[in-house]
Structure 1
């Protein structure tokens, strides 16, 4: 099969006159690549249009220090640079899977092709439009997956702490409850009267009502030492272990003196053991309850953040709830970077009609960029402020990061523009912010930046436009 016949077999060229395909053949160069050879590498200049007439190659790209396969491409296909394309260098790797044969046309011929080969040029323009659509679709999906990955990592860490606390306290509680029968037997063997039991319960329940206290290290040590000395004097077994759990509820020597006054000396160790049994059980149950509540609150924050149980329609929304939920989603990253968060919320702020899930993504993109901007700075403060302004409400998110360079400030909302390393940003985050604020909500967004202070201010109309 001749080279011209191979080009005529391209489905894309069905409507292209034979003489125009012959025009390409006359000016092109046939190139072949063997299996496992690199067809192109990152930053290789893109100065040829390639018409692959045989073989297959794999396209790979580096993301987060890992090389990932994007797709496999077989003949017949069009690749390389195209007329009117502004792409100048390759973004990934082209690895030959089976020997590739292609016709390469240098871009210096594009001007003549546009003038002399209208049908062929039209095919290539349509090809470029399809590329842009596919690339945008893929990049948006990658951007969403990248955001989801960041949030998932943070949420996994946030959930791990309370869930680990539940497991730890549950195991400790199960171990502790195994001692109940023996201590219950001892307390049954005592000869306490109903009045004496009431006296003990009065002291016990007062401390239970106060709950676990937050004591300074020194205060705790002083109380423990005093309790250990007193328990030793009363011949109570394992005084150090008892004091460690009892002191959490604020028990003092005076409390046990009151119990001792109403309890026969021979029964005192059993009574104190039973008091410790109840306090330890209460403490462990409280720890499980607190950790479970943290998990529940986090799940509620996730549900509120995504609005996954609601229709995707505009509704009056308290932006403070969305801002707080976003801070919760990013809490792991905020803590890891030792960032101080300051919130200044206006009271009685009007509730705009918004798409809650979409507007929460706006806060996420802006805050996530702000956190990244403070990675190398000494002062790390994230300010989130709201206030009314005319027919709008304003939401300002300000960071103390390095600032946005003057030469890129006008480009930050452009599609695919990013200053982050390859694999760490798609360049669609702020472009999506712009689309969501201006197009979907007919709002405004302003950016002010200087070293040590960058603020994004989003203004949303109070009444839906």
Structure 2
């Protein structure tokens, strides 16, 4: 068993220059305690004690997230942990567990005041440890929250990209099928003999029909009924592939009267190949339009990702329009918004000047607040998310409001605490709002919560000129 002496303590780097008398005082005041493998030294909600020095064995720090253990620190012999002088943390937010046989020198927290007033060098060394620990823990939290945000965005983006990508594959396959010529079709179309006058009349009539402004797409029931009517007409007029091509005419809102007008111009012998040719052209035009729109949608999503993450910009502050960041965030969360049947109300002060900020970090703020609001409104089946911006003197104010059930008054003071969450197991990490608070604080701003049943608002305020 390791005997704790002044010389042993001085092997710990931060204690090397501490006067012997102060180290001996620490030894004399402390208790030598042991823990068996797997014992819990501390659990969430318990008061922090210490400081403590590990003598033998190891100690694991972890939190429970999504029903599983997430380890973030392991201390080995020589590590100093526990409550440290001037620390604002009073209660543990994590589990602390022994790995192997653990032995610690445990200083009684009740004598921290004596340490501060009588042992300056020792206190100074422990405060230095606390500063490093806070920085490391903040980095851990921020990295973890970024990974959680990335996971959420990746899931939504996969859904967003899947639809236009699938449409391109489907429409291109259909397009190839319709433009391919068989020998029979080739002969049919090139055997058509029409007078110039008939061609002009047919052209004028056909393009007059398809150039009309089309009404909103009919519902499935109406569309099916229209396809049946047009299919019957094409079949009655001995048009080949009548039921296959009927849907192409429906896409362009053809009526029976339109088909009658075209049939009256075309000699009976040429009606089948010409109606099939027209249907093929209509289908090809629609498919190319759908492919163009799908490709545009993919390009828009990629551009939104680029702007959201600020991929081609540095991480220093720069002037930018916060409305673009909010818009990109809404795009990233578009699938979740549609899935939740959420109405978005955007009330923006468009006279706001560009703000000086780290845009990538601000986008993380909007993501966490909007994503939390969407989760809160999920039970309503018809939520309303309101985003307002306004100029308040030299500050910009962004308010994100949802009409969910609200946050109980008794827990509102805890929402910005690390690992605190009101979400059910497996949904929340308890880190999102802490990260929001920290990022806004780094921008010299504030974030406030106002909540009552049916209305929860987070108000973010920070200087325009940073």
Q: In 2, distance between residues paired with 1:155 and 1:454?
A: 27
Q: Give the aligned length.
A: 454
Moved more, 61-70 or 39-48: 39-48
1:148 and 2:154 aligned: no
What is the CA distance between 1:78 and its match in structure 2?
1.7
Matched-pair contact (CA < 8 Å) for 1:47–1:88: no
Matched-pair contact (CA < 8 Å) for 1:166–1:288: yes
- Indicate the SS of the match to 1:335: helix
What is the CA distance between 1:91 and its match in structure 2?
0.3
1:90–1:50 distance in 2 versus 1, CA, 3 Å: farther
Moved more, 155-164 or 193-202: 193-202
What is the CA distance between 1:248 and its match in structure 2?
0.9
Cα root mean square deviation, aligned: 3.5
Q: In 1, distance between residues paired with 2:35 and 2:348?
A: 64
**What is residue 14 of structure 1 aligned with on the other side?**
16
For residues 353-405 of structure 1, the C-alpha deviation after alignment (integer angstroms, 9 at most, x for no partner) is 43344544443343333333333446621122345666666544322123344
Q: In 1, distance between residues paired with 2:115 and 2:463?
A: 50
Q: In 2, distance between residues paired with 1:90 and 1:366?
A: 22
What is the CA distance between 1:127 and its match in structure 2?
1.7
**What is residue 172 of structure 2 aligned with on the other side?**
170
What is the CA distance between 1:117 and its match in structure 2?
4.6
Select which of 101, 124, 127 maps to 1:125.
127
**What is residue 258 of structure 1 aligned with on the other side?**
261
- Indicate the SS of the match to 1:374: helix
**Unmatched runs of 5 consecutive residues or more in structure 2:** none
TM-score w.r.t. the length of structure 2 is: 0.82
1:159–1:181 distance in 2 versus 1, CA, 3 Å: farther
**What is residue 139 of structure 1 aligned with on the other side?**
141
**Unmatched runs of 5 consecutive residues or more in structure 1:** none
1:198–1:454 distance in 2 versus 1, CA, 3 Å: same
- Indicate the SS of the match to 2:262: helix
**What is residue 73 of structure 1 aligned with on the other side?**
75
Q: In 2, distance between residues paired with 1:120 and 1:405?
A: 43
1:231–1:130 distance in 2 versus 1, CA, 3 Å: same
Q: In 1, distance between residues paired with 2:395 and 2:14?
A: 51
Moved more, 267-276 or 10-19: 10-19
Matched-pair contact (CA < 8 Å) for 1:59–1:95: no
**What is residue 191 of structure 2 aligned with on the other side?**
189
Select which of 336, 342, 345 maps to 1:342.
345
Moved more, 280-289 or 260-269: 260-269
Select which of 156, 159, 176 maps to 1:157.
159
Matched-pair contact (CA < 8 Å) for 1:399–1:453: yes
Q: In 1, distance between residues paired with 2:306 and 2:281?
A: 37
Matched-pair contact (CA < 8 Å) for 1:58–1:72: yes
- Indicate the SS of the match to 2:378: coil
**What is residue 432 of structure 1 aligned with on the other side?**
438
